[in-house]
């Protein structure tokens, strides 16, 4: 690789401004580690940009300053840890489990209008983390990784699904997804026959871990993660799609 040519190609500017494709970003992150001159060139542009933008300042006004500083103070007071919600492990391939799921779905459908406020969606939580030794299953040749990429402005988001073709089991690893606010939850969806099917609400603390998904519907051809109101929803908000991937 001609690193000088790469440095002067405009990729540095594109990368620092956050306008790269995920593939370009990944390449840049790897190359920076290998070529110190590239790393220096990136930092130089970051400094230049900071200096330039710091000179173009508009103050938002005293009222806004006061409001935001108060909000930041409040954040300091109300920092509370997220507690993962328990969700029992289920194997959806088991015919009884499938039958039970169908019954549950039917019942959920019937109850939905009556108990709209209290309905709880399944949660993808830490409870489903694979024990360290079980990571071996991921080396199984039957496992196909399905990369999910950030959509639109969320290009820095990344996660991978691992699909075991033999057993039909699915595993998830979230590499990067911004923390959701208290009022919002990420929700994962499968696409079956072109229609979205809920997989579950993504708990904040499962990042960087292998999670076994118990709730993936058979026949899924694609997956996505959307940001929804806290507690999830029954139909995805497409405009709030953070991650997408196809099998």
Return residues touching another protein (CB under 8 A): 9-11, 13-14, 16-19, 21, 29, 42-43, 45-54, 56-61, 64-65, 67-69, 71-73, 75-76, 79, 151-156, 178-179, 181, 239
Question: Measured from the CB of residue 148, what is the shortest distance to another protein in angstroms?
Answer: 15
CB proximity list for 39: less than 8 A, separation 6 or greater: 32, 33
For residue 17, give the nearest of 39, 50, 40 by alpha carbon.
Answer: 50
Question: Measured from the CB of residue 151, what is the shortest distance to another protein in angstroms?
Answer: 8
Q: What is the distance between the alpha carbons of residues 208 and 177, in angstroms, rounded to a whole number?
A: 10
Question: Measured from the CB of residue 183, what is the shortest distance to another protein in angstroms?
Answer: 11
Q: 95 or 208: whose CB is closer to another protein?
A: 208
Burial of residue 179 (CB within 10 Å: 0-12, 13-18, 19+) is exposed
Q: 11 or 213: whose CB is closer to another protein?
A: 11
Q: 26 or 221: whose CB is closer to another protein?
A: 26
Q: 9 or 111: whose CB is closer to another protein?
A: 9
Cβ atoms of 188 and 225 within 8 Å: the answer is yes
Q: 45 or 126: whose CB is closer to another protein?
A: 45
Question: Measured from the CB of residue 163, what is the shortest distance to another protein in angstroms?
Answer: 24
Question: Measured from the CB of residue 152, what is the shortest distance to another protein in angstroms?
Answer: 6
Q: What is the distance between the alpha carbons of residues 90 and 214, in angstroms, rounded to a whole number?
A: 6
Cβ atoms of 213 and 187 within 8 Å: the answer is no
């Amino acid at each position: 690789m001609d690193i000088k040519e790469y440095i002067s190609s405009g990729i540095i500017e594109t990368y620092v401004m956050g306008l790269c494709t995920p593939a370009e970003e990944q390449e840049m992150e790897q190359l920076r580690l290998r070529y110190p001159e590239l790393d220096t060139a990136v930092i130089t542009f970051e400094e230049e940009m900071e200096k330039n933008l710091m000179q173009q300042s508009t103050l938002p006004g005293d009222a806004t300053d006061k409001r935001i500083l108060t909000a930041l103070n409040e954040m300091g007071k109300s920092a509370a840890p997220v507690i993962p919600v328990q969700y029992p492990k289920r194997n959806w391939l088991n015919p009884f489990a499938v039958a039970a799921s169908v019954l549950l779905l039917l019942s959920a459908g019937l109850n939905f209008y009556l108990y709209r406020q209290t309905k709880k969606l399944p949660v993808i939580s830490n409870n489903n983390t694979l024990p360290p030794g079980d990571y071996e299953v991921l080396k199984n040749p039957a496992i196909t990784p399905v990369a999910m990429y950030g959509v639109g402005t969320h290009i820095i988001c990344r996660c991978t699904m691992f699909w075991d073709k033999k057993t039909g089991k699915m595993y998830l690893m979230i590499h990067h997804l911004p923390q959701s606010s208290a009022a919002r939850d990420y929700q994962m969806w499968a696409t079956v026959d072109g229609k979205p099917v809920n997989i579950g609400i993504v708990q904040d603390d499962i990042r960087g871990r292998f999670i076994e998904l118990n709730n993936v519907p058979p026949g899924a051809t694609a997956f996505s993660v959307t940001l929804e109101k806290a507690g999830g929803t029954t139909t995805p908000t497409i405009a709030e799609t953070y991650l997408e991937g196809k099998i």
